């Protein structure tokens, strides 16, 4: 295995994961296929190193190489660099045989541009897939459908879902206790917002704030959208909406940002931002994560639950015990989910695609997935989600949150290629409200801007 790592994380924290080479033998079914049929072939894989799945999955690559004789050349990039390199790879400007695939409008864009290879032909090929052993039907349908295009029911599958994430609130139990607050007594989102004024920690001499009540994704990048959608979904309740348009558009793609549920969510997000540092408008997920683990915030609002992985794996110097909660919103509790997938670029050779699929098949098998799932608190396979061993691996509060919404959570997707431009308008609207603009006026501005932008898009860009 050859590894290239580019990023701002210390290299030793990556390399220590490569020491775990000796694994228990797989079941005898592992040898039903001729796993040596591509011996001495080489493939290149491009992964986002900031996805916890990556740090666990790379432990098992050396074993795959010994079983198959296939050499794997890994390139691991931090998220911003990964997204740039992924675009190059899918356009054929850089050669990679296996890539992480982000869900939502990104995956939809790659499908529309014919940049991802549909996987159905490899999954159903008995010469390279042990269909019974792999058991595609074991994957949760919701997660598979997030990568099926042109539609969730009958579309082709363009990536295998690796992990899902939902968006709870993280909090530091010791700091809450110092303020005399019992988190168990806080049932509603209003309860949590009402305590924020009491969660400032100040220097005793200067009065300067040293720990803020809250941190949240503030719009440093478009990554604000998925946790924001999660909050919106709770306000939306159980009203129906079009899967492919989320709640933002009606069946004709007419925007409906002035819906009371969306307005409430925007106002809530802006309110939370007021209890964060002034630079919050520039915070991405990673900025919020660093701020929280550096003990500069008591609560971390609506972020990916899988980031809890770092609290137990040497990526954090925090002494605090972390609690998790998903409060009720208008007496309703739900979350969007978001997935990373793994797929094959369309522009590589047919021979390389077959080799690439064998790697994906092995890496997303039940055996490997079970090992990874217990470490990263996430799985897309029902057999693992339903297993006692996985449930016991979860922190108690995360266990309660995940299984309270698992059946009703919905994907954070909008099938519109240029949705990034609308995300930036959404971000700007929240910033306007945060900075003191009248919410209804700000929402009206957004409604007009999105309608103008939507009319500029060619119809083919936002329909199948």
State the SS3 of 313-352. CCCCCCCCCEEEECCEECCECCCEEEEEEEECECCCCHHH
Here the tokens at position 233 are: 């979904």
Taking the C-alpha atoms of residue 347 and residue 321, their distance in angstroms, rounded to an integer, is 47
Taking the C-alpha atoms of residue 408 and residue 217, their distance in angstroms, rounded to an integer, is 24
Taking the C-alpha atoms of residue 292 and residue 195, their distance in angstroms, rounded to an integer, is 18
Percentage of the residues of the chain whose pLDDT score is greater than 70: 90
Angle at 460 between CA 450 and CA 121, to 5 degrees: 125
Q: Do the beta carbons of residue 73 and residue 44 sit within 8 Å? A: yes
- Tokens 């609130």, residue located: 169
Say what the pTM is.
0.91
With bands split at pLDDT 50, 70 and 90, how would you rate the model's confidence at 459? low
**Residue 108: C-alpha distances to residues 56, 86, 98, 123, 224 (Å):** 27, 14, 18, 21, 19
Asked if the peptide bond before residue 191 counts as cis, ω within 30 degrees of 0, the response is: no
Which three-class secondary structure state does DSSP give residue 215?
strand
Question: What number does CATH give the domain 169-334+416-461?
Answer: 3.40.190.10
Q: Kindly report, residue by residue over 425-436, the tens digit of the pLDDT.
A: 999 999 999 999
71-77 vs 42-48, strand pairing mode: parallel
Task: Give 456 or 262, the one with higher predicted confidence.
Answer: 262
What is the structure's pLDDT at 51?
96
What is the structure's pLDDT at 8?
53
Taking the C-alpha atoms of residue 394 and residue 330, their distance in angstroms, rounded to an integer, is 27
What is the structure's pLDDT at 317?
65
End-to-end CA distance of the chain: 40
Phi, psi of 30 (to 5 degrees): -55, -30
CB atoms within 10 A of CB 128: 20
- Tokens 């949150």, residue located: 401
**Residue 235: C-alpha distances to residues 165, 229, 263, 266 (Å):** 19, 10, 9, 11
Q: Kindly report, residue by residue over 37-54, the tens digit of the pLDDT.
A: 999 999 999 999 999 999
With bands split at pLDDT 50, 70 and 90, how would you rate the model's confidence at 27? very low
Here the tokens at position 197 are: 């004024």
- Tokens 């709770």, residue located: 234
In the predicted structure, residue 359 carries a pLDDT above the cut 60: yes
| For range 430-450, the mean pLDDT | 97
Taking the C-alpha atoms of residue 301 and residue 395, their distance in angstroms, rounded to an integer, is 18
Here the tokens at position 455 are: 């009319």
Q: Kindly report, residue by residue over 189-207, the tens digit of the pLDDT.
A: 999 999 999 999 999 999 9
What DSSP designation does 381 have? B
| For range 399-403, the mean pLDDT | 97
Q: Where are the domains of the chain?
A: 2-164+339-407, 169-334+416-461
Q: Kindly report, residue by residue over 366-385, the tens digit of the pLDDT.
A: 999 999 999 999 999 999 99
What is the structure's pLDDT at 13?
45
Q: Kindly report, residue by residue over 10-21, the tens digit of the pLDDT.
A: 444 444 444 444
Q: Do the beta carbons of residue 377 and residue 306 sit within 8 Å? A: yes
42-48 vs 98-102, strand pairing mode: parallel
Taking the C-alpha atoms of residue 357 and residue 326, their distance in angstroms, rounded to an integer, is 37
Q: Do the beta carbons of residue 360 and residue 372 sit within 8 Å? A: no
The rounded mean pLDDT for the chain is 91
3-state helix, strand, coil in the chain (%, to 5): 45, 15, 35
CB atoms within 10 A of CB 183: 19
Which three-class secondary structure state does DSSP give residue 199?
coil
In the predicted structure, residue 24 carries a pLDDT above the cut 50: no
Taking the C-alpha atoms of residue 398 and residue 107, their distance in angstroms, rounded to an integer, is 28
Q: Kindly report, residue by residue over 298-352, the tens digit of the pLDDT.
A: 999 999 999 999 987 655 566 679 999 999 998 898 999 999 999 999 999 999 9
Q: Kindly report, residue by residue over 256-286, the tens digit of the pLDDT.
A: 999 999 999 999 999 999 999 999 999 999 9
| For range 87-114, the mean pLDDT | 96
- Residues 6+ positions from 69 with CB-CB distance below 8 Å: 36, 38, 39, 40, 41
In the predicted structure, residue 410 carries a pLDDT above the cut 80: yes
Q: Write the class of the CATH domain 2-164+339-407.
A: alpha beta
Taking the C-alpha atoms of residue 200 and residue 187, their distance in angstroms, rounded to an integer, is 21
> Of the segments 2-6, 310-314, 389-393, which one has the largest average pLDDT value?
389-393
In the predicted structure, residue 175 carries a pLDDT above the cut 60: yes
């Amino acid at each position: 295995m050859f590894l290239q790592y580019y990023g701002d994380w210390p290299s030793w924290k990556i390399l220590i994961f490569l020491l775990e080479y000796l694994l228990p033998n797989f079941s005898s079914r592992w040898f039903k296929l001729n796993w040596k049929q591509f011996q001495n072939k080489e493939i290149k894989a491009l992964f986002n190193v900031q996805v916890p799945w990556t740090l666990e999955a790379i432990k098992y690559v050396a074993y795959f190489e010994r079983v198959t004789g296939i050499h794997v050349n890994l390139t691991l990039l931090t998220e911003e660099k990964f997204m740039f390199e992924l675009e190059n790879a899918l356009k054929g400007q850089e050669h990679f045989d296996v890539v992480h695939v982000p869900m939502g409008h990104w995956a939809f864009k790659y499908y529309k541009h014919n940049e991802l290879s549909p996987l159905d032909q490899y999954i159903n090929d008995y010469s390279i897939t042990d269909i019974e052993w792999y058991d595609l039907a074991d994957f949760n349908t919701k997660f598979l459908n997030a990568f099926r295009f042109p539609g969730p029911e009958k579309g082709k599958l363009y990536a295998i879902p690796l992990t899902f994430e939902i968006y709870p609130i993280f909090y530091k139990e010791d700091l809450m206790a110092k303020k005399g607050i019992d988190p168990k007594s806080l049932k509603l989102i209003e309860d949590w917002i009402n305590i924020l004024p009491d969660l400032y920690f100040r220097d005793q001499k200067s009065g300067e704030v040293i720990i803020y009540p809250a941190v949240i994704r503030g719009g440093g990048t478009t990554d604000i959208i998925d946790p924001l959608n999660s909050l919106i979904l709770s306000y939306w309740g159980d009203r129906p909406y079009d899967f492919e348009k989320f709640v933002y558009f009606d069946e004709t793609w007419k925007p409906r940002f002035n819906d009371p549920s969306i307005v409430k969510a925007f106002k809530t997000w802006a309110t939370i931002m007021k209890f964060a540092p002034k630079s919050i408008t520039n915070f991405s997920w990673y900025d919020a994560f660093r701020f929280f683990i550096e003990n500069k915030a008591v609560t971390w609002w609506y972020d990916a639950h899988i980031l809890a992985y770092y609290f137990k794996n040497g990526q954090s110097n925090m002494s605090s015990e972390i609690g998790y909660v998903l409060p009720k919103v208008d007496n309703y509790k739900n979350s969007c989910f978001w997935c990373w997938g793994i797929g094959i670029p369309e522009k590589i050779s047919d021979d390389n695609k077959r080799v690439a699929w064998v790697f994906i098949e092995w890496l997303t098998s039940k055996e490997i997935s079970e090992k990874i799932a217990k470490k990263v608190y996430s799985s897309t396979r029902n057999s693992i989600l339903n297993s006692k061993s996985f449930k016991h691996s979860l922190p108690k509060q995360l266990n309660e949150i995940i299984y309270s919404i698992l059946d009703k959570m919905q994907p954070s997707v909008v099938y519109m290629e240029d949705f990034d431009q609308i995300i930036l308008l959404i971000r700007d609207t929240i910033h306007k409200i945060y900075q003191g603009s009248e919410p209804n006026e700000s929402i009206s501005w957004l409604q007009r801007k999105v309608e103008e932008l939507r009319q500029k898009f060619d119809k083919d860009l936002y329909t199948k």
